[in-house]
Structure 1
Amino acid sequence: MKYFIIILSLFTSIAAVSCGSSSEHKGHAAADTNRTTTAKKYTCPMDADVVADKPGTCPKCKMELVEKS
């Protein structure tokens, strides 16, 4: 019985360490996702409804798009 308790304690400790390390990896994956969603956006000074992922010209008034803050 004594050995059973020792083995059970050891198994529980190993399982707790394994679960802790996998949750760390999930946290890193979430952080990487947040970095990719902060892409720059560009908008027209005259037509605020025009939003683009890259610099260029407004399709409505042909003004240069500016970085959205």
Structure 2
Amino acid sequence: MPKPHLPSYLSDRAQMLLELEQIAQTVKLRLDQHQTSGRTLTLKIKFSDYQQITRSKTVLTPIRELSA
């Protein structure tokens, strides 16, 4: 199964947030279908110059909703 990713042409912050929202909805749908959840959310960003940053957040209870 391909990993969710943003189109490489995105540079506008608002458009990025809309794309991330769609990815989050897809991930939630898949988690719901498998009746599972997780406590850690990881975001990896890769730039066009091959630089990348990764940020993770672990919470005490399983993440079940899209809202923070």
TM-score range, shorter chain: 0.3 to 0.5
Which structure is higher in strand share? 2
> Normalized against structure 2, the TM-score is what?
0.34
> Normalized against structure 1, the TM-score is what?
0.34
Say which one has the larger Rg: 1
